[in-house]
Amino acid sequence: MAIIRTKYTKIRTAHSCWGCNRKFDKGTYMYMNVCTDGLLIKSIYWCETCKAYLVLYISSDEEISRGTLKYEDFEGWNKMREFIENDVK
């Protein structure tokens, strides 16, 4: 799937993060990727924790299924979450 556009935005409705499948309320800032596979165009939302995890540990050509960042490496993902969410507060 090719990324057409990436944007850090304040969400207007509740969304789930693609990487960890956690739900976020409207007003939360998330990274939005507009993607296409040639036929279908869709928006995928990422929380700050998953975006940071992606940049550090995942190669750009890997396909990510919904929720896999959190569930395939919970210990590493959780350390990143603790760092990001404690740093933000």
Three-class SS of residue 7? strand
The Cα–Cα gap between 10 and 32 comes to 10
**pLDDT at res. 88:** 56
Of 12-16, 20-24, 56-60, 84-88, the poorest mean pLDDT is in 84-88
**Residue in 66, 76, 63 with CA at minimum distance from that of residue 19:** 66
pTM for this entry:
0.84
Q: Dihedral of CA 54/49/15/4: which sign?
A: negative
Q: Per-residue pLDDT tens for 15-43?
A: 999 999 999 999 999 999 998 888 899 99
User: How many structural domains does the chain have?
Assistant: 1
Range of the domain at 12: 2-88
Q: Is residue 58 predicted with pLDDT exceeding 90?
A: no
The CATH code of the domain that includes 6 is 3.30.1740
